[in-house]
């Protein structure tokens, strides 16, 4: 690991933003289809809401935000989630109607993984936890 000459007090990645069209529909998807819990749903500004969801027990959250400026829904999010049982989660998400890849990607030097999409077409990755 390289040394830096200056340090900050940045401690962790605490949340990422996923742009969605409808916060209520996104809450329903992330909580009822993915099994996340709603961590925050707070009004601010001129009729805005700050909404966060996360897997139970997770330190990091996903903020579900409507489009702002040039940010639009339907993007590759770069969000990677971890599963303790990728096979079971692939089958369960498919049964719940989530748009998941047909096959789990496997390789000799990578963990097993698959992509899935939320209601707005935002793409997320689910990766098998390495033991």
DSSP of 36-59 = -EEEEEEEETTTEEEEEEE-TT-S
Predicted TM-score of the model (pTM) = 0.91
Per DSSP bridges, beta strands 48-54 and 37-44 are antiparallel
- Residue 120 near residue 20 (C-beta atoms within 8 A): yes
pLDDT for residue 131 is more than 90: no
Q: What digits encode the pLDDT tens for the residues 93-126?
A: 999 999 999 999 999 999 999 999 999 999 999 9
pLDDT for res 2:
63
Sign of CA dihedral 84, 124, 66, 62: positive
Judge whether residue 5 has pLDDT over 90: no
Q: Each residue of 56-87: pLDDT tens digit?
A: 999 999 999 999 999 999 999 999 999 999 99
Q: What is the pLDDT of residue 21?
A: 97
- Residues 97 and 75: their CA atoms lie apart, in Å, by 20
Looking at the DSSP bridge assignments, the partners of residue 105 are 113
Strands 99-100 and 61-65: what pairing?
unpaired
Q: Mean of the pLDDT values across residues 17-35?
A: 98
- CATH number for 15-128 (one of 3.40.50.10860, 3.10.180.10, 1.20.1440.230, 3.40.50.720): it is 3.10.180.10
Within 10 angstroms of residue 40's Cβ, the number of other Cβ atoms is: 14
| 64 or 7, higher pLDDT | 64
Q: What residue spans define the domains of the chain?
A: 15-128
């Amino acid at each position: 690991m390289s040394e830096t000459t200056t340090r900050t007090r940045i401690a962790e990645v605490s949340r990422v933003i996923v742009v969605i069209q409808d916060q209520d529909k996104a809450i329903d998807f992330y909580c009822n289809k993915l099994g996340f819990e709603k961590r925050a749903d707070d009004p601010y500004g001129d009729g805005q809401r700050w909404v966060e969801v996360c897997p139970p027990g997770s330190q990091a959250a996903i903020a579900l935000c409507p489009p702002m400026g040039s940010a639009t829904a339907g993007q590759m999010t770069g969000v990677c989630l971890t599963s303790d049982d990728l096979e079971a989660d692939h089958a369960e998400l498919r049964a719940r109607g989530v748009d998941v890849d047909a096959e789990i990607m496997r390789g000799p030097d990578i963990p097993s993984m698959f992509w899935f999409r939320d209601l707005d077409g935002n793409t997320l990755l689910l990766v098998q936890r390495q033991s």
